[in-house]
Amino acid sequence: MKQRIIVGAHYGFRDWLGQRATAVLMALYTVLLLAVLLVQKPSDYLSWYGVFSPVWMKIATLTFIACLLYHAWVGMRDIWMDYIKPTSVRLALQVGTLVWLLACAMWALKIFLQ
C-alpha cells in the first residue's frame, strides 16, 4: 500500500480545496433555492411540498447536504485540531463529529426520499 503522507507539504491540500469547492457548490444551491422560493412563493403545505417534489430539486438538495457534510467536517476538524490538545479527547470529538454528520445525512436522505 502506498505510504500515506500525513505531515509536511501537500498534506491537507485535498481538504483545503474540497472545503472551497463545496463552499461554491453550496452557494450556488443557496441562490437556486432563493430563486425557487421567490418564484413559487409557497404558502401552504401543498405548495411547500411542491418546492421539493421535483426530482431535480431533490437531487440538488441532497447534493447540497453531501457538500455540507464534507465542508462542515473539515471546519470542525480544524477547530478540534486548533483547540483540543489531548489526543484522546480530540479523537473522541472527531469521531463524535463524524457520527453527528453521518446521522444528519441519513436523516436528510429519509426526508427527501420518503
Partner 1 sequence: MSSSTAKPLKPRPKHLNLMKIRLPLPGWVSIMHRLSGAAMFLAIPLILWLLDKSLGTEIGFDVVKELLALWWIKLALAGLLWGFLHHFCAGIRYLMLDMHKGIDLASARMSAGAVYLVSIPLTLLAAWQLFL
Q: Which of residues 64-83 bind partner 1 (CB under 8 A)?
A: 68, 72, 75-76, 79
- Nearest-angstrom CA–CA distance, 97 and 92: 9
Minimum gap (Å) between residue 82 Cβ and partner 1: 9
The three grid cell numbers given for residue 18, joined into one nine-digit string: 474540497
| CA-based torsion, 94, 12, 103, 46: positive or negative | positive
- Nearest-angstrom CA–CA distance, 107 and 65: 10
Minimum gap (Å) between residue 11 Cβ and partner 1: 17
- Nearest-angstrom CA–CA distance, 50 and 88: 47
Give the residue from 66, 60, 4, 5 showing the smallest Cα distance to 32.
Answer: 60
Q: Which of residues 16-45 bind partner 1 (CB under 8 A)?
A: 20, 23-24, 27, 30, 44-45
Among 49, 54, 92, 99, binds partner 1 (CB under 8 A): 49
Chain contacts with partner 1 (rule: CB under 8 A): 20, 23-24, 27, 30, 44-45, 48-49, 52, 68, 72, 75-76, 79, 97, 100-101, 104, 107-108, 110-111, 114
